[in-house]
Amino acid sequence: MRRPFLIVIAFIFAARVYAITPTEYLLAKAWPYEHKAKIAEVGRGVGIVFSPDLSVPGNCRFYQSLGFACFEEADWDSILSGIRTYNILYPERAIRTLVIETHGTNGNGLKVQNSYDPAADRSYISVGALQERIEADGVRYVVISACNSRRLLRPAIYRTLDPYNGDKLFLPATLGIINASEDWDPRRSRIVVATPATSHIEQTLAGTVRELSPTTRRALTVSARSLGIEPPKQFAVSEMLMQMLLRDPTLEFATGESIDQLSRDQTPDSRGEKLFRSFVKYVNQLSWREYGKKKAPATKRAAKTPASKSASVRR
């Protein structure tokens, strides 16, 4: 009588240990947490795509110094080519997870643009086309941090965008629209597309490297010079990216579930500031763990690694 009871209790305990949320599971797969990560390895295996108008000058250099692959273009075709080139050149740190920091155009298409000028460089891509194009490059997870991103998964526009949707944010596609091919079947795709569970307008904060500790700045300088790029001076970071990096328990992802409702909700400013402070503290802790107890890292120009050969690719 006692033995089955104890076994049941043991299984209950075991089940509780393994009770993790789908978001935690997804994050653990898409962006494995490395407790002893070095500054230059924080973003290993993760690529970030920025719309130029959601970035700051030299933004990609900040992320490259942290180990990310970074792309900032107004042309989706160039971005996709860049991802392919990167994974060919650096198979040891190939992109497996892509974080999309672009506009969602109210859920009508992933948009990258230089500005809101109607004549500015601008292009769109459907989620299906993104899956189709990057699956062959080895990407397995796509995290969309865009406005009303769950609306992008609507079946009507999943493969082919509607350029006549009537939304005033859908400005002229001066550099084209990329749709999925006719014979592409989303059910056969191995890529997991994740979006925030609650649809709202995502926000990005612009910060400066001066806000980081001197140790972190020196670590970033060393990392940047080892890649053959100039040390960054400022950066733009989205609330969602900070939540992912910090493993924020309030972050909640949804996969493959679309909604129709358009949301105008915005997160309060205080939330972004709080996340930013935590982000700065996290990066400072990483650099302190790596360099704090040692002598400050030399800022001499380090020998170029193979990664520096394609600095222009990873701009």
Partner 1 sequence: MNSTRKTLLSLCAALLLTFGVYACKSTSDQSSVNNGTQAGSTVSQNTTGDMNTAGLNNSTGAYVGGSGVPAQADQPTSLDASSRVGGRENVQAATADNSYAGTGQTLITSKGTKTTTTTTYATPTVVTTAPVVPNTTETITTTEVTPPTVTETTTTTTETVPMVSSVQETTTTTTPAETTTHTRMHKD
Q: Rule CB under 8 A: which residues touch partner 1?
A: 2-3, 6-7, 9-10, 13-14, 17-18, 24, 27-28, 32-33, 35, 51, 53-54, 101-106, 145-147, 169, 201-207, 211, 213, 236, 238, 245-249, 266, 269, 272-278, 280-282, 284
Measured in degrees and rounded to the nearest 5, phi and psi for residue 65 equal -65, -25
For partner 1, the closer CB: 24 or 41: 24
For partner 1, the closer CB: 205 or 302: 205
Closest distance of CB 51 from partner 1, Å = 8
CA distance 87 to 83: 6
For partner 1, the closer CB: 26 or 227: 26
For partner 1, the closer CB: 281 or 309: 281
- Residue 271's contacts (CB-CB under 8 Å, 6 or more residues apart) are 239
Closest distance of CB 7 from partner 1, Å = 6
Closest by CA position to 39, among listed 306, 312, 291:
291
Asked if residue 278 lies in contact with residue 242, where contact means CB atoms within 8 angstroms, the answer is yes
Measured in degrees and rounded to the nearest 5, phi and psi for residue 160 equal -130, 125
For partner 1, the closer CB: 13 or 164: 13
Closest distance of CB 289 from partner 1, Å = 13
For partner 1, the closer CB: 108 or 126: 108
- Residue 60's contacts (CB-CB under 8 Å, 6 or more residues apart) are 50, 70, 71, 72, 314, 315
Closest distance of CB 266 from partner 1, Å = 7
Closest distance of CB 6 from partner 1, Å = 4
Closest distance of CB 282 from partner 1, Å = 6
CA distance 27 to 33: 8
Asked if residue 97 lies in contact with residue 139, where contact means CB atoms within 8 angstroms, the answer is yes
Q: Which residues pair with residue 194 across a beta bridge?
A: 143, 255
